Amino acid sequence: MNSLTEENYLKALFSLADDKGEVGVNELSKRLDIKMPTVNSMMKKLAEKKLVFYESYKPLRLTDKGRREAGLIIRKHRLTEMFLVEKMGFGWEEVHEIAEQVEHIQSAAFFDKMDVLLGYPKVDPHGSPIPDKNGKLVWRQYQKLSQSKAGETLVLAAVLDSTTEFLTYLNSRELRLGLKIKIKAVEPFDGSMTVSYGKHTALVLSSTVTERLLVEPAGT
């Protein structure tokens, strides 16, 4: 069994290793807001437990076991977020902090029950995929709204930032998952977009925002 602390390291490693698969100690240190020497010794400990590959001065990589365990924690986190929103009436901007705590609960039955009650959801309230029971996570092929062009019509599929602040901003603009958005214009200077959706006919989104929104072509 891994400690709560170890679980947090695994989760951070998993999310940082998303693309390249490799993570630097420094990078991990910043993500967790824990000093490098502390991270360093924890990596040795996790290497002992066969959860990470560790060699001096080389980047960190999760082992299959480590990736699986991290995935299972993320599964618990995302099932919890879904449960909080769908079954308890929380807003998508309120659930991250609570799930951060609930994800450490040791009870397979508890999360299995959530899964059943939710009807085996594939994504969480922010559009992120929920890993399966083996901790395996697969993202659908989304692209950032910022990479789309004027004239395209897209469906908002996920957000890359689950902070209360960002989601509250989206709420204030009535932006939510599943929404069909048409790009009316892209400002070449700063990348800001004028879009229309629902009752909104000409709303401007800064690149800071469009960078954090994942979309897919309408009608998929």
Partner DNA sequence: ATATAAAGTTAGCTGGCTCTAACAAATAAA
Partner DNA sequence: TTTATTTGTTAGAGCCAGCTAACTTTATAT
Binding string, 3-42, against DNA, x = CB under 7 A? xxxx-----------------xxxx-x---xxxxxx-xxx
Residue 101 found at the interface with DNA (CB under 7 A): no
Closer CB to a copy of itself, residue 82 or residue 181? 82
Closest residue by Cα to residue 70 from 154, 6, 161 = 6
How many other CB atoms sit within 10 Å of the CB of residue 78? Answer: 24
Reduced to 3 states (helix: H, G, I; strand: E, B; else coil), residue 192 is: coil
Q: Measured from the CB of residue 29, what is the shortest distance to a copy of itself in angstroms?
A: 24
From DNA, a copy of itself, none, interface partner of 27 (C-beta below 5 to 8 A by class): DNA
Alpha helices in 35-176 (DSSP H): 36-48, 64-86, 95-102, 108-118, 164-172
Binding site for a copy of itself (CB under 8 A): 84, 87-90, 94, 97-98, 101-102, 105-107, 109-110, 113-114, 117
Q: Tell the residue number behind the tokens 């960078």, with chain if given.
A: 211
From a copy of itself, DNA, none, interface partner of 87 (C-beta below 5 to 8 A by class): a copy of itself
From a copy of itself, DNA, none, interface partner of 93 (C-beta below 5 to 8 A by class): none
Which tokens hold the place of 80?
A: 């919890």
Q: Measured from the CB of residue 39, what is the shortest distance to DNA in angstroms?
A: 7
Cα 53 to its chain centre, rounded Å, is 24
Binding site for DNA (CB under 7 A): 3-6, 24-27, 29, 33-38, 40-43, 45, 54-59
